[in-house]
A and B are shown apart, each in its own frame.
Chain A
């Protein structure tokens, strides 16, 4: 742990001295690093990290990567993303490589955009998230803020084409840090897909973040798929700041990482806004996926729906920590949290922990969690109709994921969701699992 601390410090000092930027950004980095230091590194004793042992991770000595300007080869993206009618944005090891330009949308390298901001603008765009629940993964991301993309959709614009952000890692032993900031101005509407993958057989640390700023009456659907290799460590943050009457749906599919920390933090800070937080964590071998939800209701009359599902195979482990915080002003909050897990092996394991903190009195807040195996009675019923055991199992596993689809209204995202899930099913020899 001490070595890890020192390694981060060395990395930061190198980074800080070699990347002078605007004063605002420099200060932000420095302050974030100070905050990271004062937070300290979490251990199992930490309530928010109870189920995730980081000791193995702390032994790693990743080196922060100083980005070069290699161009991403778009031939590398998988078949299922081979669309002609989308706006592609390519990140290569976190750095913006190139992109399709599209009307009414600003797409720019994050650092170059942020450098042009005065301190008020910076505060709003970068630092506009709730101060509650500071987490070392996000403070670290802020300390190294540089790479990533800034996307801004103009007021009143309905995106004709979905924006697909491709994010590819191929840098051995490196520590990659990047952030995407996606800003939907009032009354705009659109779909954003983030697809992350890597070459096999390299170990790296990705500390990535995606921050949505959603203006009044915006309507946004988001799909995030992470298929990074199973030797990688991924510390991920998704933060959403929602203004009045905004509607947001995010759907996460995780299949990658040796150790995955998936922090999701929607902040409902505009009256009448609504957030659907969907997720599917698909783990096998000895993968560990820790999902930490923090749904924050600040203003009244907002709805949130969390539906997170896990399918766990082999000796993999899952965590679902579902925190809901309803501030005292947030009357008429309707918050619902559901976590369901399907264990495909005796040795797979999942820990679930709800955490509700409610400071308003007129609130509807429910949570529920289930963990089980494939229902034998149902399997028998399918088999008694002539369906082979393997097919019957696959039908049951597929049916487990079906509930998520009801929340997704865009066909584009729906089809992608299905194809990534099917791909994992196919690659995981599910039917043969016992």
Chain B
């Protein structure tokens, strides 16, 4: 599904990713762990199509085709979704309007008819209930004044409404209380399927008890230095990262 090949990326002449290779097949859940500043969010942003980076080498294939030249909206329309580590607040745009615009843009790109507001609200209300979120969050400005946990849940709400095939979750667990963590994990698990893949970026092994990964990778200084199964996460939890740095 997603193939990252020897990716090198700079920001403001500083090399952040230094030859990153990763292959995620259909239906797989991969987790990336790594110290602060190692390039996890950079990778996630590049996958979603953020334009601030200079890619000096390498390629990203999605379903066999390079997406390097694709705009963020085209990637989203193809089914790539990034749950942001720091979701943006946009005053004056209601959450429900935003979600409907997003869903209808994706539908339009597939040749589907746009949903009417009532049809949309029905879907949104169902999903928001599954995530045990307050319905009033739909009518508020997008993320504005949302608590940290509400913002993270709102990302998962967007994911479950947009129904992507490749979801990248950037520290979606950070800032969530224990109950919320479970709810969010349930939300993610409800979206799992044979044709859906996940890349879960996290600092905490706890999340991986709920969203069980097929593979765990360690990213240090812009490179994957070790890969393993879910037991690697437990090992990192007890030993930290220093034993992997050279």
Contacts and interface: CB of A to CB of B under 8 A. Distances in A.
Given A399-B93, A402-B92, A382 B98 contact: yes
Interface in B54-76: 71-73, 75-76
B153 to A, nearest CB: 16
Interface in B14-67: 48-51
B206 to A, nearest CB: 27
From B82, B88, B103, residue with most partner A Cβ within 10 Å = B88
A398 B101 contact: no
Nearest to B109: A386
Contact of A402 (B48, B72, B91, B103): B91
Tell me the dominant secondary structure on chain B's binding face: helix
A381 B84 contact: yes
Nearest to A401: B92
A384 B47 CA distance: 10
B97 to A, nearest CB: 8
Interface string B211-241: 0000000000000000000000000000000
B88 A381 contact: yes
B128 interface: no
Contact of A386 (B51, B77, B87): B77
Given A380-B50, A380-B72, A385 B91 contact: no
A395 B102 CA distance: 11
Contact of A381 (B77, B87, B103, B105): B87
A391 B76 CA distance: 15
B105 A387 contact: yes
What is the interface residue range for chain B against chain A?
Answer: 20 to 34
Contacts of B172: none
Contact of A391 (B75, B105, B106): B105
Contact of A384 (B82, B90, B103, B109): B82
A385 B49 contact: no
A396 B91 CA distance: 9
Interface in A358-395: 375, 377-378, 380-389, 391-392, 395
Nearest to B88: A381
Nearest to A392: B73
Nearest to A405: B92
What is the interface residue range for chain A against chain B?
Answer: 20 to 34
Interface in B87-133: 87-88, 90-93, 98, 101-103, 105-106, 109
A268 to B, nearest CB: 29
A399 B49 contact: no
Contact of B90 (A389, A399, A403): A399
A378 B72 CA distance: 13
Contacts of B50: 380, 384
Given A385-B162, A389-B71, A403 B82 contact: no
Nearest to B83: A384
Contact of A398 (B49, B73, B92): B92
A384 B49 contact: yes
A400 interface: yes
Contact of B92 (A381, A387, A400): A400
Given A383-B76, A386-B103, A402-B92, 16 more contacts: A378-B90, A380-B50, A381-B84, A381-B90, A383-B72, A383-B73, A384-B50, A386-B73, A386-B77, A386-B109, A387-B105, A392-B73, A395-B98, A398-B92, A398-B93, A399-B90
7 contacts: A384-B84, A386-B102, A391-B101, A395-B93, A402-B93, A403-B91, A403-B92
